[in-house]
Structure 1
Amino acid sequence: MVGTRRDRGSGAAVTAAPDARPRLVYVVPHLSENESEHFAHIPALLAALGSRVDLAAAVERGSPPTRLAGVRLLLRVPGRSRLGRVLGTALTIHRCARAGYRTYFLRYSTLFVTVLILTYPLYRHRILLWRSGLPDVREPERRKSLRHRLQDVLNRVTARSVHCLVTGPETMVPIMAGLWGVPRHRMRLLYNDVDAGRFAPLDAEARHTARKRFGWNGDEFVMLFVHRLSYRKGARLLAPLLAEVSRVVEAADPDVRVRLVVAGDGPERPRLEREASDPALGGRMQLLGAVPNHDLPELYAAADCVVMPSYEEGFPRVLLEAMACGTPVVTTDAGGSRDVVGAGYPYVARVGDLDGLVAHLRSLAVMPPEERCALGPRLRRRAQEKFSPQRAAEMIEAML
């Protein structure tokens, strides 16, 4: 039986779902129109998930829309100060409980999961917590601070206190279980997803127009880096990588000029700005700063390849976005990266192997354009078939 009601806490009109459908609160850490983080992928997942479960969404920060497809109950967590956010989170949990929701899925929401654990005796909710990646990877000159040590303790406590620790891809399951001391029977596998309708290749004319607008010449081999500008993501390798790839490629074919385009922001940006202005690089590095996620598909599709020289990864959406756009990738085997591109994909280097990355990039740069373009459809098919929002929604539903 289907009916309507009004949630007393939010005042939002709610359509009652069939009793057989499981209920879930998906906690969204941040959502806004110009989202530059990967949280911009969440609406597509919610739309797919909402066709399977009775779905509520609690948005912690940002300026979300008034409606999200697939979501029956949309709540904005109130509060600006730290204390205000704690109280606002508790109020949101109470509203969800009043509406009949007692199962939560969370990513990167330390405050929310902490309040859930503290309020468990009151509401008896079920907590599914996503974690992936290795937090101990940091700059060689940077010691672990007291704040980081306390964060590690909190992460370990929360990982052991929730009902299920969710991670992916396959490589990360035993890693995360060992890192946080979680029994394997409480681990669950979940894939990240990419909307292959939004992230898609460009036809030849549109690609030519986009490259011209970005200021890229037709004879340039354009390498694209999209990530947080941090040590963990290999930002310090970008300048030496560009210098060496330029040297070997332009020596092999003087008619080809190499360009590196960097999209992102983070603590390594001042270093990259200094390196980009170095005359030795000859203006080959182009820094774009943070780019809204909705503008990234065209950037991916216009580039010749995406390079990801990370020291640390979990389940990198950068690779999924590039693959969906049909753009070849060169990556390290950090975290679950090899799982994402597939066992037979050739352009994967060991973590920290600059020479290996250079060799892979040179291979792509000197490859005939039609041969390089032929790599794209295979990568896109893999993204569509294995990492779709519908596939991720099925996996979440199975956990319920």
Structure 2
Amino acid sequence: MTLADRTKIVYAIPHLSGEETEHFAHLPAFLEALGRRVDVVALVERGTPPATLPGVKRVISTVGRTRLARLHRSLEALRFCARAGYRTYFVRYSRQLLILLILTSPFFRHRVFLWRSGTADLVEPGARKTLRHRLDNGLNYLLARCVHGLVTGPETMVEVMSARWRVPRRKMRLLYNDIDGDRFAPLPPSERDQVRRRRGWGDDEFVILFVHRLSFRRGTRLLAPLLDALESGLPHPVRLVVVGEGPDRPYLERLGAGRSNMRIMGAVPNRDLPPLYAAADCFLMPSYEEGFPRVLLEAMSSALPIVTTGAGGSADVVGKDYPFVCDVGDLEALTEAVNQVARMSPRERADLGDRLRIRALDEFSPQRVARMLEDIL
């Protein structure tokens, strides 16, 4: 294959900046790997994108102060890409761009692949789905059926998303999320100790880390009861560190008021997360609803033992034989699983973490996921 014959793709990035707290911060490493296989244009919609990205032929910013300004810049970007021979788009979540791509497809003759994982159907007890939620679902249903392919992962979510959005199985595509194993990695013991001391974590403390959106769907209301149950059963102190923002933050702050062993850090830029993972003793994800949670990949790559529910594709991510996958909403099982990890020797926890890291590097490397996307294209 000559350079002129290489596949061309426009990869739409909803948000990119140095302070990025969402999983879009992972995309530059992935695009660098993808750029070794295909020609890539990155289309960045919000944030403060850099002028260049490794492996990317061109970075196009459609950032604007108003929705109309972003729409105009997006249309100009589509015209440029069509003239340059780019007629395949990969879109993550961005609905305005997706609608524009579908409407202009007859003119520019491009293909659109939409990534979507997770259902967001759960409503907390006592609440009802709002009219806006119902309208959003209706629009998402129409859009999912208009694209050339609906891309999702991991394996469990292919059937879930096909049924959820009534997309024919022939239009479904499997694609993993990826993790940069160089950025999310274990720390040497001396550096790990330094991180713990800077954070005020005691040498004898068992530190549980939660990183996610603070919402009912992510199981945040199970955190305080779980911490209470653990305190009575372990011979050493326990500390819960909560990273994230969301509607449940006031609820957690009320429960955590006056407690020295529960720290709510709020949102942390993704670039600053690796030391937190590497210095903790256990990662906890008690979600009721998930798709393909990148936080599991971050913990796995950091060699951090995990306790999770089987929500969405979580069991596919950690591996079907992983011992600490609990039923959704089962507080007793989650507590017992964390207890078991806490009672392990440091060597046993390290072995469990190493097992997860090996899986992360083998199954979810940017290089492997880039090959998967190239096969889809």
- Normalised TM-score (structure 1): 0.93
- The yes-or-no answer on 1:276 pairing with 2:256 is yes
Alignment of 1:1-400 (within 5 A): 18-249=3-234, 253=235, 256-277=236-257, 279=258, 282-400=259-377
Residues 93 and 115 in structure 2, CA contact (< 8 A), matched pair in contact too: yes
Cα distance in structure 1, aligned partners of 2:268 and 2:13: 20
Give the drift of 1:141. Answer: 2.6
Cα distance in structure 2, aligned partners of 1:98 and 1:21: 16
| Secondary structure of 1:381's aligned partner | helix
Cα distance in structure 2, aligned partners of 1:210 and 1:299: 8
| Secondary structure of 1:24's aligned partner | strand
Give the drift of 1:82. Answer: 2.1
Give the drift of 1:134. Answer: 1.2
Cα distance in structure 2, aligned partners of 1:69 and 1:45: 10
| Secondary structure of 1:100's aligned partner | coil
Please tell me the root mean square deviation across aligned C-alpha atoms, in Å.
1.1
Cα distance in structure 2, aligned partners of 1:22 and 1:362: 50
Sequence identity (%): 58
Cα distance in structure 1, aligned partners of 2:3 and 2:187: 42
Give the drift of 1:309. Answer: 0.3
Cα distance in structure 1, aligned partners of 2:7 and 2:347: 48
Residues 14 and 45 in structure 2, CA contact (< 8 A), matched pair in contact too: yes
Q: Which amino acid aligns with 2:352?
A: L
Give the drift of 1:135. Answer: 1.7
Cα distance in structure 1, aligned partners of 2:344 and 2:219: 25
Give the drift of 1:371. Answer: 1.2
Q: Deviations over 1:59-112 (max 9, x none)?
A: 000001111011102100143222222222222211211221110001111111
Cα distance in structure 2, aligned partners of 1:362 and 1:127: 46
Q: Which amino acid aligns with 1:276?
A: G
Mark the runs of 5 or more structure 2 residues left unpaired by the alignment: none
Cα distance in structure 2, aligned partners of 1:68 and 1:33: 13
Q: Deviations over 1:315-345 (max 9, x none)?
A: 0110100000000000000000000000111
Mark the runs of 5 or more structure 1 residues left unpaired by the alignment: 2-16
Cα distance in structure 2, aligned partners of 1:134 and 1:329: 23
| Secondary structure of 2:240's aligned partner | strand
Q: Which amino acid aligns with 2:255?
A: E
Residues 47 and 63 in structure 2, CA contact (< 8 A), matched pair in contact too: no
Residues 79 and 87 in structure 1, CA contact (< 8 A), matched pair in contact too: no
Q: Deviations over 1:102-128 (max 9, x none)?
A: 100011111111110011111111000
Q: Deviations over 1:11-65 (max 9, x none)?
A: xxxxxx8121000000000000111111000000000000000110100000011
Match of 1:5 in 2: none
List structure 1 segments (4+ residues) > 3 angstroms apart after TM superposition: none
Cα distance in structure 2, aligned partners of 1:107 and 1:293: 18
Cα distance in structure 2, aligned partners of 1:116 and 1:397: 21
| Secondary structure of 1:260's aligned partner | strand
Q: Which amino acid aligns with 1:161?
A: C
